[in-house]
Structure 1
Amino acid sequence: MKKILLCVTGGIAAYKAATIASQLYQLGFEVKVMMSESSQKFITPLTLQTLSRNEVYTNTFEERNPNVVAHIDLADWADLAVVAPATANCIGKLANGIADDMITTTLLATTAPIMIAPAMNVNMYQHPAVQANMQKLADYGYRFVEPGEGLLACGYIGKGRLAEPEEIIACIKDFSAKQMDLPLEGKKVLITAGPTREQVDPVRYFTNYSSGKMGYAIARAAAGMGASVTLVSGPTALEKPAGVMFIPVESTDEMFHAVMKEYPEMDLVIKSAAVADYTPRIKYGEKVKKKNESWSVEMEKTTDILSVLGEKKERQVLVGFAAETGNLEGYALDKLKRKNLDMIVANNVAQEGAGFSVDTNRVVIYKKDGSAKEYPLLSKDKVAQEVLAQAMELMPL
């Protein structure tokens, strides 16, 4: 169950739909959004289009594709429809078979499961008519995400506040896990991402150009496949992926200790972080003042995390990355063998579209059995899916 139809109706809580759409996309779900006319008074279609990476549907009579009827096509497309927020008006229409806009027309035509997240004034929520309508929908098989209690936008205090996006996401994931085959369900996956920082003094450090985008994409994809994901990340400007255990670190030494602590319990480890190979021998406690025309900083090797993982490997499938600027195959195969890896993902960061900080990558995947698979330029989200698919072939059933 990967295709989510998110239906946004008109309430102040409509802004939370942006977080829901964004986090579902990050988890690997395909999201399409429908908006009622009144919901567009609170949040724009452009916002949800940007976050879902799909066009937003607002008008039953706007048929952009002559080969299909839009609302029927969406009804057939969805694996799960989620109404968040769901107003009393929308709930009443669905309960009584009224189809007078894009959302209600589509939901009455779909055979997919429907999840309702109500949001309204406490007195509206408690009104017998609204309660009767929700009970009728529950009898039809609709699922509900209970609203929260607290201060409402209208100033009242009570039950009626839209459940937090994290709770709605959790309900979707739980329901999806029960309905679909999740290839990594029950597996523990450890991913490292981003750069490390090696301190010289309190205001200076050595680092590299890694943005963390590749590792974060793998973490999102693995979580979407049902894995229990631990992401150990150096400093990045990226949003923490939803549904993962996140461990922030700064230095290579901090990353080493965080990884080794989690390693024994893992089934799959993907080491995509660009860690520093050297660190300053002396770390000054105070800022070093400018005195001379030149300044030499003596460096010493950091712990080779991937080598240690290879030495201590037992049942884990171990995947490394090789970011090179030349002799890609030679360096990658040497690293694969020398560090006792099961698979290595190699890319030439000097190639256009395959370097740091971009949203695309061009990789070659080498396995210890001697096989190699080269990919064209793909989005990092797509590369993440391919990396996981290849790694799963090496994992015991």
Structure 2
Amino acid sequence: MKTKNKNYKTKVLLLITGSIAAVRIPLLVSQLAKENYEIKCVLSKNAEKLIKPLSLSILSRNPCILEEDQWSNIQSKPLHIELCNWADILIIAPLTATTLSKWVTGNADGLIPSILMANIKPIIVAPAMNTQMWLNKAVQKNYKNLQNYENVLSLQPSEGLLACDAIGIGKIPPNDLIQLALEFITSQNQNTYHKDLLNKKILITGGCTSEKVDSARHITNKSSGAMGLMLSQVARFRGAQVRYVHGPLKIDKDLTDGIQRYEIETSDDLIKVINNEISNCDYFFMNAAVSDFKMFSDHSAKIPKNKINDHLIKNFELVPDILKKISESKKDNQVFVGFCAFTGSIEEAKIIIKKKIIQKGCDYLFANPIDLKGQGFGYLAQNEGWLFDKKNIEHHIKKTSKIDLANKLITKIISQKD
């Protein structure tokens, strides 16, 4: 993942408080330093007991800032104000129950709480604590209040094995997800952040479906599921309630953290989940790469190779157009978006694409080329594409990262509805 401008280093102020999860933060600092971010770290007194300031200074290439520095006699202005002015984006990872309480109750006791009080820049929040602490009514009340802060992008803690050997919710969100949230914000104009999809429900499909030929063979399409996942995370970051329906993902599962998702295998599986969810959504993104063929007879045994040709000829059938079928029951207040991979020139593809919008009954169709070097499949691949509607929209999104493309695509679509 790269920041949007190689000539400018986005300035990230990383606030680290005293959860055992702080031991994971040096790896995050190292990860971000390699990706053209300029980082300054601030350690709370309790966090100092868990990780060494010198390590953070070396990894970030900047002096690590400690609580005792807040009112140092070498400061020419209040340190918490100076740091807020310096930063483009803030991250607090891990966020403890104590710091959360100080923040939402307006208690500026200490350097990190003072920074949180003074900050108006976008801030990514990554809580971490014991399950019982996280589920405590006071903590949940404070966390709920935090969701009303317009500049806060909050990542829910993960579930898994905790430092206390218990299994439950409370793990700090994965470093890759924190970095993804950071890249999302840097893709915004002037690094702003707004929850413009609050109270919106979005259903997204992605990845490939797979159809059984026999016990040893299957038919599928090429798709990693990355584009659908980026759309899902961007929509969630912007405040939406998201459900992601997908085939097997060929990407780091850490990037799925925080998304309500359903893993499917066949086109029939996909149709069932869509039918269950479609009536409740405001936006539907049909990004799945559905296999074009399936077998209408079930064979649990492996077909001998000398008989496979005859077996395919007799049992092949086309998979119905799922988007076309679903669009027949589309409500007036819903927006449906289809996706179309193409090869060759966009000028040649336009005629087919505009016909497809009518045939499929969707509001928009996003067409992206897959025959250009470095574009198409996989999380690290970049993409460009053209957004069409039934009338005269023909909006080009230049080659960029998949999360930036997802962000720009969603922005364009919701701006049209407004």
TM-score (norm 1): 0.66
Within a 5 Å distance, the mapping from 1:144-159 to structure 2 comes to none
Judging changes above 3 Å, is the alpha-carbon distance between structure 1 residues 380 and 18 closer, same or farther for their aligned structure 2 residues?
A: farther
Structure 2 unaligned runs (5+)?
1-10, 30-36, 67-77, 131-156, 182-192
Deviations along 1:322-371, one digit per CA (max 9) or x if unpaired, are 10113321222111121111111101100123211143101111122211
Q: 1:265 deviation in Å?
A: 1.0
Mean alpha-carbon deviation: is it higher for 370-379 or for 280-289? 280-289
Contact 2:209 2:291 in 1 (8 A): yes
Aligned equivalent of 2:337: 319
For these two proteins, the number of residue pairs brought into alignment is: 324
Deviations along 1:46-93, one digit per CA (max 9) or x if unpaired, are 9xx9xxxxx6855359xxxxxxx99766423377663526699xx99x
Contact 1:256 1:303 in 2 (8 A): no
User: Separation in 1 of the partners of 2:241 and 2:318?
Assistant: 33
Within a 5 Å distance, the mapping from 1:177-216 to structure 2 comes to 181-216=194-229
User: Separation in 1 of the partners of 2:248 and 2:126?
Assistant: 38
Contact 1:201 1:285 in 2 (8 A): yes
Contact 1:86 1:116 in 2 (8 A): no
1:14 to 22, 28, 31: 22
Within a 5 Å distance, the mapping from 1:11-160 to structure 2 comes to 12-15=20-23, 34=41, 36=43, 39-40=50-51, 58-60=63-65, 74-76=83-85, 77=87, 82=92, 84=94
Judging changes above 3 Å, is the alpha-carbon distance between structure 1 residues 272 and 162 closer, same or farther for their aligned structure 2 residues?
A: closer
Contact 1:190 1:268 in 2 (8 A): yes
Contact 1:10 1:40 in 2 (8 A): no
User: Separation in 1 of the partners of 2:409 and 2:126?
Assistant: 35
Letter in 2 for 1:307: K
Aligned equivalent of 2:271: 256
Contact 1:213 1:359 in 2 (8 A): no
Structure 1 unaligned runs (5+)?
22-29, 50-54, 62-68, 121-146, 174-179
Contact 1:197 1:205 in 2 (8 A): yes
1:270 to 277, 285, 291: 285
Contact 2:246 2:261 in 1 (8 A): yes
User: Separation in 2 of the partners of 1:78 and 1:260?
Assistant: 43
> Partner of 2:398: helix, strand, or coil?
coil
How much is the aligned-residue C-alpha RMSD, in angstroms? 4.7
Letter in 2 for 1:75: C
Letter in 1 for 2:64: N
Q: 1:164 deviation in Å?
A: 3.1
User: Separation in 2 of the partners of 1:197 and 1:73?
Assistant: 55
Within a 5 Å distance, the mapping from 1:231-310 to structure 2 comes to 231-238=244-251, 239=253, 241-291=256-306, 297-298=312-313, 299-310=316-327
2:389 to 346, 355, 367: 367
Letter in 2 for 1:320: G
Mean alpha-carbon deviation: is it higher for 6-15 or for 213-222? 6-15
Q: 1:198 deviation in Å?
A: 0.7
Mean alpha-carbon deviation: is it higher for 8-17 or for 365-374? 8-17
> Partner of 1:308: helix, strand, or coil?
helix
Deviations along 1:183-208, one digit per CA (max 9) or x if unpaired, are 11111101000011111123321112
Deviations along 1:89-114, one digit per CA (max 9) or x if unpaired, are xx99xx99776xxx699669757799
User: Separation in 2 of the partners of 1:258 and 1:223?
Assistant: 20
TM-score (norm 2): 0.63
Q: 1:375 deviation in Å?
A: 2.0
User: Separation in 2 of the partners of 1:288 and 1:191?
Assistant: 36
Q: 1:321 deviation in Å?
A: 0.4
Q: 1:33 deviation in Å?
A: 6.8
User: Separation in 2 of the partners of 1:312 and 1:118?
Assistant: 43
Matched, 1:383 2:392: no
User: Separation in 1 of the partners of 2:122 and 2:403?
Assistant: 27
User: Separation in 2 of the partners of 1:279 and 1:96?
Assistant: 62
User: Separation in 2 of the partners of 1:206 and 1:373?
Assistant: 34
Judging changes above 3 Å, is the alpha-carbon distance between structure 1 residues 356 and 186 closer, same or farther for their aligned structure 2 residues?
A: same
Letter in 1 for 2:303: V
Letter in 2 for 1:265: N
Matched, 1:342 2:359: no
User: Separation in 1 of the partners of 2:308 and 2:82?
Assistant: 70
Judging changes above 3 Å, is the alpha-carbon distance between structure 1 residues 291 and 10 closer, same or farther for their aligned structure 2 residues?
A: same
Contact 1:35 1:45 in 2 (8 A): no
Contact 2:18 2:94 in 1 (8 A): no
Mean alpha-carbon deviation: is it higher for 214-223 or for 371-380? 371-380
Judging changes above 3 Å, is the alpha-carbon distance between structure 1 residues 84 and 266 closer, same or farther for their aligned structure 2 residues?
A: same
Letter in 2 for 1:334: K
User: Separation in 1 of the partners of 2:220 and 2:55?
Assistant: 39
Contact 2:341 2:369 in 1 (8 A): yes
Aligned equivalent of 1:217: 230
